[in-house]
Amino acid sequence: MRTLTLFITVLASAACDDGGDAAPPLDAAPPLDAAPALDGGDADRDGGRGDAAPLDRGRRDAAPRIDAEPEDAGALDAAAADEGAPDAAPADPLACNGRRALCARRYDEVAVVTTHNAFANLARRYLAPNQRFDLGDQLRDGVRGLMLDTYDQDGVAYLCHGSCDFGERPLIDGLRDIADFLDADPRAVVSIIFEAYITPDATEAAFAAAGLVDRLHTQAPGEPWPTLDEMIAADRRLVVFTDRPGGPAWHHDVWAHAVETPFSVQDVEDFDCRSNRGTVGNPLLILNHFITDPVAFEHRAAEANAADILGPRALACREAFGQQPVFVTVDFYDRGAAFEVVDQLNALGPPAPKK
């Protein structure tokens, strides 16, 4: 009964997650229906990967499709939690995040699929989930950005969202999943964006215990970002951002580096290219592209992630901000065309800076 009561409470209050979406629109933001189709062009559709093996997304392709009827779409899918990890495609020793053409690009010029509330997933039997698969499987599927919330439970750092009564996991265990993935794929560059309710010292201790400190990249605000190839060569392939700055230099203040679009969206018609938190001109654009009505549902994510919704919006915001949407942030990343849109954004190359 306590869990049911808490679940009802979240349904009633989730839409109040943050009231910070009232920022004025960018003057040059084009209407979304004016954006050209994001097809990438026949010659560049593969993002310039050369003869690299295609990214293996067998888990997404094999996952049972949702029933689009609203009364069924939010139900727990036990099969999703029980599936084994997909067989990995042979890694291209010359690729960076799966594409050779990305190696010479700076970190802030490369778009990546980013999972909103990555820990809140069906695989962990989380109530009101935002994703289907666990952190390791998300990374193996090609996700390279993870949004994670951290909470203190009796002096121990946990991954939770909203309330730890809906699901929890020690932060160190999630970080070890990331460490294992980085061990398995030496050509991957991964980013974490924390919504933190723990101290920087607690975060630092968890990274140290997970053996990740030596892999963390440090970036001074205003300095040019290195290329993916440079980060891989230095084995500094994990970048950490937080909304609770302080502590070590690698524990970056997200709003000193990034600007985001609004995140309180209840229908696809509400997606736009206004700025929300962060300063316009910061090099990292977080494209929040998910529906919370009042929580996440698979059928709403499938609608939002459709190529004809996500593609034109990504292009419109790319033009409005004059920069690549680096973190294309979605719910239920395996629904819709998130990977295809990100591949095609990268095939276009870095945009001309906004004047």
Token pair belonging to 38: 């994001």
Number of residues that make up the chain: 355
Instruction: Write the secondary structure of 234-276 as one string of H (helix), E (strand) and C (coil).
Output: CCCCEEEEECCCCCCCCEEEHHHHEEECCCCCCCHHHCCCCCC
Q: State the residue for tokens 């700055």.
A: 245
Share of the chain above pLDDT 90, in %: 66
Q: Average of pLDDT values for 101-118?
A: 98
CATH of the domain at 166: 3.20.20.190
- CA distances from residue 121 to 166, 215, 248 in whole angstroms, order as listed: 11, 26, 30
Q: Average of pLDDT values for 24-51?
A: 39
What is the pTM assigned to this prediction?
0.79
Query: Under the phi-then-psi rule, with left for phi > 0, alpha for psi from -120 to 50, and beta for the rest, what region is 65?
Result: beta
Please state the domain count of the chain. 1
Is pLDDT above 90 for 190?
Answer: yes
Token pair belonging to 276: 């929300």
Q: What is the pLDDT of residues 209-262, one digit of tens each?
A: 999 999 999 999 999 999 999 999 999 999 999 999 999 999 999 999 999 999
Q: Average of pLDDT values for 335-350?
A: 94
Binning pLDDT at 50, 70 and 90, where does residue 199 land?
very high
Best CA proximity match to 290, nearest among 169, 159, 131, 179: 131
Q: Is 213 part of any domain? A: yes
Q: Is 120 part of any domain? A: yes
Q: Is 302 part of any domain? A: yes
Q: Average of pLDDT values for 281-291?
A: 97
Q: Is 17 part of any domain? A: no
Q: What is the pLDDT of residues 156-186, one digit of tens each?
A: 999 999 889 999 999 999 999 999 999 999 9
Q: Is 237 part of any domain? A: yes
Q: Is 246 part of any domain? A: yes
Question: Of 33-47, 153-167, 310-324, where does mean pLDDT reach its minimum?
Answer: 33-47
Q: Is 103 part of any domain? A: yes
Mean predicted lDDT score pLDDT of the chain: 81
pLDDT top residue among 194 and 128: 194
- pLDDT value of residue 197: 97
Q: Is 355 part of any domain? A: no
Range of the domain at 167: 32-64+95-348
